Amino acid sequence: MMLVFFAYFALVSIASGVLTVSLRHPVHCALALLALLLHVSGLFILLNAEFLWAVQVIVYVGAILVLYLFVLMLMNLKTDERYFHPSALYFVGPAVLGGVYVLFLLLQSPFDGAKGTAPASAVLQDGDTYAVGIKMFSDHILQFEIVGIFLLGAIIGAIVLAKTPKPLDPKEERL
């Protein structure tokens, strides 16, 4: 059963990733990205990361993607006739070859390492949100504060950048 769900989420996320890169109209690309993000959040559920699933759906799909769609519709772009970079053909062949080689190596390698202190049974006992919260506010509180400052800076930067510049002529201001 897990395998069926994994195959579905993996295949659909890869397919919508390819569509995001290859579709012509930017709004269609954004909708393909929506499908990609939702299916990646499904992969998070399979990995016992319910809190990240919720964050992915709320922050990525609910906030970031809506911001992209908002800007796309604000600009009302015409679709370019040639929407790929002219040198695209030189990239695609080597990239596909390299990707197949990397996949071959990945599927062979037996990943392993030192086990940590949070086995799945312990996480499931109190819930993933509890485990993430305890870990974040005990060991990683400094990083949490840094991310908070970073987001504040990003908000202020975005407002300063996108503000309408003042007209140079004072007469124009009255109109």
Instruction: Please report, as residue ranges, which positions from 99 to 118 form the binding site for another protein (by CB under 8 A).
Output: 99, 102-103, 106-111, 113-118
- Residue 118 phi, psi dihedral angles, 5° rounding: -125, 75
Residue 162 vs 175, nearer CB to another protein? 162
**Smallest distance from the beta carbon of 24 to another protein, in angstroms?**
10
CB of 154 to another protein, least distance (A): 3
Dihedral sign, Cα of residue 165, residue 170, residue 173, residue 175: negative
CB of 148 to another protein, least distance (A): 9
* Calpha distance 22→115 (Å, rounded): 40
Residues 31 to 60 in contact with another protein, rule: CB under 8 A:
33, 36-37, 40, 43-44, 46-49, 51-52, 55-56, 59-60
Phi/psi of residue 49, each to 5°?
Answer: -115, 70
Please report, as residue ranges, which positions from 117 to 156 form the binding site for another protein (by CB under 8 A): 117-120, 123, 128, 131-132, 135-136, 140, 143, 147, 150-151, 153-155
User: Helices 65-75 and 26-46 sit at what angle, rounded to 10 degrees?
Assistant: 180
CB-neighbour burial class of residue 157 (10 A; exposed 0-12, middle 13-18, buried 19+): exposed
CB of 20 to another protein, least distance (A): 6
